[in-house]
Chain A
Amino acid sequence: MFIIGEKINGMFKNVSEAIATKNKLIIQELAKKQLEAGADALDVNVGPASADPLKDMEWLITVIREVTGMPLAVDTTKLAVMEKGLSLAGPGSFLNSTSGQKEKLDLLLPLAKKYNSKVIALTMNKSGVPANAEARLEIAANIVAAAMEHGIETENLYIDAVILPVNVAQDHARAVLETIKQCKLICDPPPKTILGLSNVSQGTLNRPLVDKTFLVMALALGLDAAILNPLDKELMDSMITAELLLGKNIYCDSYLDAYRKK
């Protein structure tokens, strides 16, 4: 599974403080630790408290680029910040994210095309996140069509079926799983599927358990990628074991160790 590390996000206190005090060592340490733990890319989000998101995004990416060239997921809702971020992050990074609204797609997809970025697209529109799989898939199909129109290969499109916290929207988990499964039927080659995993456990008492259980279920239905906390070792172990049981890697007694040596 492709893993995008979620830790460089201004909603976490250590990150917002690091941004405020321009303490680049904290950010660089977070980048390195997540990559060592198995992240294939790093999410970068300045957080809601940022007074100057454009400057902060520029600073974050610049200091991360001092320690790694791995892909970044530029995580912002602001167009100007997105453009700045993608231009600095370089080709192969992720636009995180667009929704399924046409006006959003028409603004953001050209940016992805311009900077040769992959696209994370949420199956939501003006009225929010639909409760069932059918409506999510309809939005996904529209996103795929828009991507094709804008000349973005479907393999570089990551559909996020948007999981809501289980304590407020319990029905959604099944709808998300069904969407992940059926996304592969939209076109050939199919789009990839992704989850912002930790949303599922917001407000629950045992967040790690909810996260890893849902991740394993989603993997069984074909999930390709997730934005998650790679520093949660048990979560990573569950992911590695699930992939093993799905036959993606050859078993050996030290399969966890073997996966990490990849």
Chain B
Amino acid sequence: MEPAIIEKWPGRTYELTIGATKEEGGSRSKKVKLGGMSTLPFLFFEGTIPNPPAVAMEVWDVEPTDWPDVLKNEYGDVLTDPAKWAKKCEEFGCDLICLRLKSADPDLKNSSADEITKTVKNVLSATSLPLIIVGCGNNEKDSSIIMSISESTKGENCLLGVATKENYKTFTAAALSGGHSIIAETPLDINLEKQLNILITDMGFSSDRIVIHPSTGGLGYGFEYCYTIIERTRLAALSGDKMMSQPIINFIGQETWKTKECKADETEKPEWGALKERGVLWETTTSVGYIQAGSDIIVVNHPSSVKEVRNYIQKLMIK
């Protein structure tokens, strides 16, 4: 039965492609298309949703030390080799690889731009999936390596991140020169979110090549604030606000696997059930919440979460 109230929205979100095939100057076997929605998530009776949300898996260039064993064990011995790790993720069935260049962190290995680009190139040859490449999270360091990352992946149409209010100029210039898209991150503030998009486009960067990271809060750790921000962003886009119409990314894995719910073992919390299932449930449930809010890319860590989330998306994409 058709619902009684159907909204007619004047706007739609930008459609964005990540990855480039050989014919397009890249080396990816497939591309991922995002966005283009003319209604809220999965409301097919109201508008069109040409592309399903995409699921990305993280690959780090250092071995994670604080991951719980239930997560580590899924990867076996590949966690020390980003190229092998990426290949493994491709086998797990994700749409995109999210390469996180942790080793650049001055508090960790403080890897140089040369070392970083070598890793990036190794991962590019190991997997044929489109790439999201994010820095270590240190603004200064990320600004110093982003240009060489961008140059070394020219033509691959990657998604580079993360640009913030502090470093967006360097990131935008880098993304422009390498022909990549960019992640714009703001601290859970819809006004700053819009402002950063304007600042980036003021530099001549196309507004349809930005992906918004409105911040990600884990389930039980701020998820509902993020949900509200994403929902408001989507409503603004559908009302025609072009500075809020960009696809949205959320890093679910990094906010999931540090929670006590995904780490505390069964002897400590017997009433919480099996730890093995708990983490995946937590990551899957959080992802599903973000997808319902309007997120376009979900970045997760556990292979079972990839499977569960994709399964869920498939079911909801049936018109």
Q: List residues of chain B with CB within 8 A of the CB of A253.
A: 191, 195
Distance of A150 Cα from B250 Cα, bound (Å): 52
Within 198-222 of B, Cβ neighbours of A (below 8 Å) are at 198-199, 201-202, 207
A8-16, A123-131, A254-262 - interface stretch: A254-262
Query: In the complex, which residue of chain A has the Cβ closest to the Cβ of B242?
Result: A262
Whether the pair B236, A261 counts as a contact (CB closer than 8 A) is: no
Residue of B192, B236, B241, B242 contacting most chain A CB atoms (<10 Å): B241
Q: In the bound complex, how far is the Cα of B198 from the Cα of A253, in angstroms?
A: 10
In the bound complex, residues from chain B placing their C-beta under 8 Å from that of A254 are 195, 198-199, 202
Judged by a CB distance under 8 angstroms, whether B293 is at the interface is: no
Alpha-carbon distance A214/B199, docked complex (angstroms)? 33
Contacts of B192 in A (CB 8 A): 252
- Collect the chain B residues with CB atoms within 8 Å of residue A251's CB: 191, 194
For A258, give its contact among B190, B194, B232 (CB under 8 Å).
B194
B240 on interface, CB distance cutoff 8 Å: yes
Q: Please provide the chain A residues from 214 to 233 with a CB less than 8 Å away from any CB of chain B in the complex.
A: none
Chain B's nearest CB lies how many Å from the CB of A250? 5
Asked whether A252 lies within 8 Å of B240 as measured between CB atoms, the reply is no
Given contacts A261-B201, A261-B207, contact A250 B194 (CB under 8 A): yes
Q: Assess the A261–B243 pair: CB atoms within 8 A.
A: yes
Contact A250 B198 (CB under 8 A): no
Q: Give complex CA distance A258, B197 in Å.
A: 9
Q: Are A261 and B198 in contact (CB under 8 A)?
A: yes
Residues of A within 8 A of B241 (CB): 249-250, 258, 262
Chain B contacts of A258 at CB under 8 A? Answer: 194, 198, 241, 243
Mark contacts of B213-247 with chain A using CB atoms, 8 A cut-off: 1 yes-contact digit, 0 otherwise.
Answer: 00000000000000000001000100011111000
CB-CB under 8 A from B198, the residues of chain A are 252, 254, 257-258, 261
Give complex CA distance A251, B202 in Å: 17
List residues 33-60 of chain A with CB under 8 A from any CB of chain B: none
**B207 to chain A: which residues have CB within 8 Å?**
261
Complex: A250 Cα to B243 Cα, angstroms: 10
User: Are A262 and B240 in contact, with the CB atoms below 8 A?
Assistant: yes
Cross-chain contact A252 with B195 (CB below 8 angstroms): yes
* Minimum-distance CB pairs A-B, first 4: A252-B194, A252-B195, A254-B198, A252-B191
B residues contacting A by CB (< 8 A) are 190-195, 198-199, 201-202, 207, 232, 236, 240-244
Can you name 12 A-B residue pairings with CB atoms under 8 Å? A250-B191, A250-B232, A250-B236, A252-B243, A254-B199, A254-B202, A257-B202, A258-B241, A261-B198, A261-B201, A261-B207, A261-B242
